[in-house]
Homo-oligomer: A and B are copies of this chain.
Amino acid sequence: MFPKNAWYVACTADEIAENPLGRKICNEKIVFYRGQAGRVAAVEDFCPHRGAPLSLGFVQDGQLVCGYHGLVMGCDGKTVAMPGQRVQGFPCNKSYPVEERYGFIWVWPGEPSLADPALIHHLEWADNPDWAYGGGLFHIQCDYRLMVDNLMDLTHETYVHASSIGQKEIDEVAPKTRVEGHEVITERHMENIMAPPFWRMALRGNGLADDVAVDRWQICRFSPPSHVLIEVGVAHAGHGGYHAPAQHKASSIVVDFITPETDTSIWYFWGMARNFQPQDEALTTSIREGQGKIFSEDLDMLEQQQRNLLANPQRALLKLNIDAGGVQARRMLERIIAGEQSAQADGSAT
């Protein structure tokens, strides 16, 4: 169960640099490619001729050519040409609204007429020379909401990421959760603590002492369908914490775009945006590798949790205060999904 009328991250720009990319998004098998003038396109990954996957084909003169018998598919799902054939009567493929923005390809798997590019989540740090971004992609066998839960309850850092970003003080400070418009925000501020290894590295990387007390913050922002952006950072203690001036802190934004593949699998685009030393590409690489290692620690937990839940459908899970972020996110999703279903029912009735 996921919203269909929403912009999801489908892939990164480099994934379609050379060849078409076949990827299932929200149970739809889609091929992504660069069409005319390099503009990105997305159509059903199914050749109307004999059902071959179009993603095994290639792009020629801005058009997608089926790699089996040469059918030429248009960006709108209509067949453009095929050697020796009249193609006017060929059945149409679905095409999907798709936009390239911030280095990501965004797709709208639902009703195309509702796809307004203005609804794409705004990333104020992207396309901004003061910021740098690095990230990666994991394919995980779990419901996308388990990953939302994971990111909206960072007490798991103490256990899953004990050697990098975890510390017992996370457990000791209760988070505060609220809903603001279309956003669920859960935040935690820890004062006068010692930074864990990852943040000591970041302090040093930013030219700051790493052996003094700091204030640490985590501000998780969920927005539908499944984006979680987390402001994280530490400041030397006593300078205002989150609000401390730049010269006293190291901070960044953890970026999580969680795209359902099926009901129990996801494409997880993770990364980190930072506004210090944005030109330092070696630092970008080093942070990406560190973050990739940390995030990979979650994979086995999430996949085994998913299997446990499938095997025990009768067990209700607890909703503690630490779970409030995930719980509110699920409520917001339920309302959106119910709205989509009733709109669909209305549509069918008329």
Contacts and interface: CB of A to CB of B under 8 A. Distances in A.
Interface of A: 29, 45-46, 48-53, 56-57, 65-70, 82-85, 90-91, 149, 153, 155-156, 158-160, 168, 171-172, 174, 300-301, 304-305, 308-309, 311-312, 315-318, 320-323
A69 B312 contact: no
The secondary structure that dominates the A interface is: loop
Copies of this chain, how many? 3
A56 B318 contact: no
The residue in A69, A153, A320 that gathers the most chain B C-beta atoms within 10 A of its C-beta is: A69
Contacts of A305: 50-53, 68
Contact of A52 (B29, B66, B308): B308
Contacts of A312: 46, 51
A56 B304 contact: yes
Contacts of A309: 51
A91 to B, nearest CB: 8
A153 B69 CA distance: 9
A322 B69 contact: yes
B171 A84 contact: yes
A83 B308 contact: no
Given A66-B159, A83-B168, A83-B172, 14 more contacts: A48-B315, A49-B318, A49-B320, A50-B317, A50-B318, A52-B308, A53-B304, A53-B308, A68-B301, A69-B159, A83-B158, A84-B322, A91-B315, A91-B318
B49 A172 contact: no
A347 to B, nearest CB: 20
Contact of A67 (B174, B301, B323): B301
Given A29-B308, A46-B308, A52 B301 contact: yes
B315 A69 contact: no
Contacts of A66: 159
A83 B155 contact: yes
Given A171-B84, A318-B90, A322-B84, A158 B70 contact: yes
A155 B69 contact: yes
Q: Which of A48, A50, A56, A90 is packed against the most chain B CB atoms within 10 Å?
A: A50
28 contacts: A29-B308, A46-B308, A46-B312, A49-B320, A50-B318, A51-B308, A51-B309, A52-B301, A52-B304, A52-B308, A53-B308, A66-B159, A68-B160, A69-B156, A69-B322, A70-B159, A70-B171, A82-B320, A83-B171, A83-B172, A84-B155, A84-B172, A84-B321, A84-B322, A85-B320, A85-B322, A91-B315, A91-B318
A322 B68 CA distance: 12
CB-based closest 10 A-B pairs: A83-B171, A53-B304, A51-B308, A51-B309, A52-B305, A49-B318, A69-B155, A67-B159, A50-B317, A70-B159
Most chain B CB atoms below 10 A, which of A65, A66, A83, A323: A83
A51 B83 contact: no
Nearest to A318: B49
A6 to B, nearest CB: 23
A168 to B, nearest CB: 8
Nearest to A46: B308
Contacts of A67: 159-160, 301
Nearest to A57: B159
